């Protein structure tokens, strides 16, 4: 799990550092396009009235650029490590990740996160899969009142967020799959307010389908595999 979690932490640090540098520049009316902020010469930057930036500001930004470059180097190192593990999978988690990568829409980062942070567990049924990710419903009943309080959110929050993000991509990239057709049919019967509720339901169904795929080799119905 450490590789997945370190990668997520480094991405958060990169975002924070990029935002910090942008904020310092915006204070002086300077906007830099693109995300690669460690590759430009800040000493050549001028304010809108064509004045150079202050010396202390320049030094602070240069220190931030060095930290950003180090973070990028460490992210690339983890990327190489992850790709190497998937190319020649030795551990069971890496074999599962390589198998997940065969499905169109699932990339190296998603496959590694699912295999190392979730599918290393032994699940007995689909209920356990949904519960561990916090994607099961929370019904409430009192007397004649019976309502659904939404998903429990009691499981792995990282996997829950990852699966919801994957579900949005799945319904675009796998339009012929049964899961996408199920989503589209119910979305057409309802309205836009149900869109987010349905995508969470799709995320749960997709997670269960991926579990079955890893356990039995059964590809999600209608899903397209990547070309070898």
Cα(156)–Cα(123) distance, integer angstroms: 14
Greatest distance between any 2 Cα atoms in the chain: 73
pLDDT score, position 140: 59
Cα(28)–Cα(37) distance, integer angstroms: 16
**What single string gives the DSSP state of each residue in the chain?**
-HHHHHHHHHHHHHHHHHHHHHHHHHTTT----SS-TTSS-GGG-B-TTS-BPPHHHHHHHHHHHHHHHHHHHHHHHHHHHHHHHHHS--SHHHHHHHHHTTBTT--HHHHHHHHHHTTTS--SSHHHHHHHTT-SEEEEEETTEEEEEEE---S-HHHHHHHHHHHHHHHHH-TTSHHHHHHHHHHHHS-GGGHHHHHHHHHHHHHHHHHHHHHH--PPTTPPBPP-
pLDDT score, position 195: 83
What are the φ/ψ torsions at residue 140 (nearest 5 degrees)? Answer: -130, 130
pLDDT score, position 88: 83
Q: What is the pLDDT along the chain (228 residues), one digit of tens a residue?
A: 788 888 889 999 999 999 999 999 998 888 887 666 777 888 888 888 888 889 999 999 999 999 999 999 999 999 888 888 888 888 888 899 999 999 999 998 899 999 988 998 889 898 889 888 888 766 656 667 666 666 667 778 889 999 999 999 999 999 999 999 999 988 887 666 678 888 989 999 999 999 999 999 999 999 999 876
pLDDT score, position 70: 94
pLDDT score, position 227: 75
Identify whether the C-beta of residue 29 lies closer than 8 Å to the C-beta of residue 48: yes
pLDDT score, position 68: 92
pLDDT score, position 85: 82
pLDDT score, position 86: 82
Domain ranges of the chain: 2-87, 124-216
């Amino acid at each position: 799990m450490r590789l997945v979690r370190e990668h997520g932490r480094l991405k958060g640090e990169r975002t924070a550092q990029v935002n910090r540098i942008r904020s310092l520049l915006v204070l002086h009316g300077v906007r830099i396009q693109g995300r690669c902020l460690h590759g430009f010469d800040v000493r050549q930057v001028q304010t809108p009235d064509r004045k150079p930036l202050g010396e202390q500001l320049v030094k602070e930004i240069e220190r931030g650029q060095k930290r950003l470059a180090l973070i990028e180097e460490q992210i690339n190192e983890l990327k190489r490590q992850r790709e190497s593990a998937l190319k020649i999978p030795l551990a069971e988690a890496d074999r599962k990740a390589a198998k997940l990568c065969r499905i169109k829409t699932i990339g190296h980062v998603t496959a590694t996160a699912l295999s190392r942070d979730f599918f290393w567990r032994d699940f007995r049924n689909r209920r356990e899969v949904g519960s561990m990710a916090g994607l099961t419903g929370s019904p409430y009943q009192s007397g004649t009142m019976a309502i659904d309080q939404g998903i429990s959110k009691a499981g792995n929050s990282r996997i829950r967020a990852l699966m919801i993000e994957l579900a949005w991509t799945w319904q675009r990239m796998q339009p012929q799959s049964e899961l996408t057709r199920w989503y589209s049919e119910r979305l057409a019967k309802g309205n836009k307010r149900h869109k987010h509720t349905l995508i969470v339901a799709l995320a749960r169904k997709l997670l269960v389908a991926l579990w079955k795929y890893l356990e039995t080799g059964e590809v999600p119905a209608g899903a397209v595999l990547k070309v070898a």
